[in-house]
Structure 1
């Protein structure tokens, strides 16, 4: 029994083509894995603070009933406004609408009733409005 020796001849051109195609195949697999993997960071889950809806709270100023409406979603205060504010009340208390606009803007930015600033000439109006907003938000808050 004699063993016959086999001689294998590789052509350099074929070796180069094979290496290039193997490299492209590996690159394609890596690219597909990267594209279809979830490389986005998951958003943190926010705790639900409010029951979404529209809540109102009222107060009186010199026998005039005034209602403040607060619109919330599960985590944010979206809108604060007057409901059916009579023209006579708006005329009698001209600082009421600007005071509510000032308070609302600060609340939208901070999503909190803490550290609200106001002008000295709007102190009483602002405090009454803040109490009404706080009352409406108390109705909106989810009780544990």
Structure 2
């Protein structure tokens, strides 16, 4: 009776290494599936889309070779404030309707969160229109590029 008995010798060190490599291979496959699997599109569209890039934006308005800077402060969702920056006394004296017109427009822009639907005082209509253009120009800088 000659039976062909085969003896298999397994070393525990080789079994441990094989088990570790199999586990790492499975982990790698799981990570690749997680990384490259299509994402749920509703979570991307429901994420808060910011209307503005937060910051301080300025725009210049030129009157008789005098530069008047208009500053608009925005956060990601709303307009915080609108004001003049470095308004010289000579400019304020030469154009006395500038400061009241800016105060009126600043209140309306912050309340409306934009330059649409603003009402102008009849005495400072053209001043208000020029200031509205400067505010609009500063807000265009705050809109994120796509």
Match of 2:88 in 1: 86
Output the TM-score relative to the length of structure 2: 0.66
The answer for unaligned runs of 5 or more in structure 2 is: 1-45
Paired position in structure 1 for 2:58: 56
Aligned equivalent of 2:97, options 91, 95, 98 = 95
* Contact 1:49/1:142 (<8 A) preserved: yes
The alpha-carbon deviation at position 120 of structure 1 amounts to 1.3
Mapping for residues 55-134 of structure 1, pairs under 5 Å? 55-134=57-136
Aligned length: 101
Task: Give me the whole-angstrom Cα distance separating, in 2, the residues matched to 1:96 and 1:66.
Answer: 10
CA-based RMSD of the aligned residues comes to: 1.3
* Structure 1: gaps of 5 or more residues: 1-43
State the shift of 1:79 in Å: 0.9
